Amino acid sequence: MIQDNPTAMAQCFVRNLRKELQLDDLLDIMKAEFSEIGSNKCKAEIDIYKSFTAFLEQCAFDETSPLNLENVLMFITGTEVIPPLGFHKEISVKFLHSCAPDCMCLPTVATCALDLNLPIHYKNEEVFSTIMTNSIQMCQGYGN
């Protein structure tokens, strides 16, 4: 599991202050579908997944983040809370390799299937975070 140590203290801190969706709870219900270990595809996927988890940490712990984890969960699943008995399946984090060079496409979701599709062409964590934030905010705009 990736999520163990660096965020533990911050989580205690947040948990005492606010009763919100916790990063661990969100990561627990996600499953990344990595390609064969050691392949170039897999390396690219791990980079993007790291950017994704960094983005989630930012949403969870950065007071200046425009989004919180509820916004992310809403974007992926259409609901702000994890149901008491859980979703009908894990959230599948899938990686898209089929984009053209210089593609600018956004992450997409299938809320019923609980799929999050992440193109692998975002250059770094900052780019990923900006794109993910924009995607979620655009979605919120349409939602209400």
Q: Which residues bind Zn ion (CB under 5 A)?
A: 99, 103, 105, 119
CB of 100 to Zn ion, least distance (A): 7
Tokens of 20: 């919100």
State the minimum distance, in angstroms, from the CB of residue 41 to Zn ion: 15
Assign 8 to helix, strand or coil. Answer: helix
In the bound complex, what is the minimum distance in angstroms from residue 102's beta carbon to Zn ion? 9
Whole-angstrom distance, CA of residue 39 vs CA of residue 138 = 34
CA distances from 89 to 46, 56, 70, 83 (A): 22, 20, 18, 12
Q: Which is nearer to Zn ion, 31 or 121 (CB)?
A: 121
Nearer to Zn ion, 1 or 100 (CB): 100
Q: Judged by CB, which is closer to Zn ion: 8, or 104?
A: 104
Alpha-carbon span 55 to 62, nearest angstrom: 10
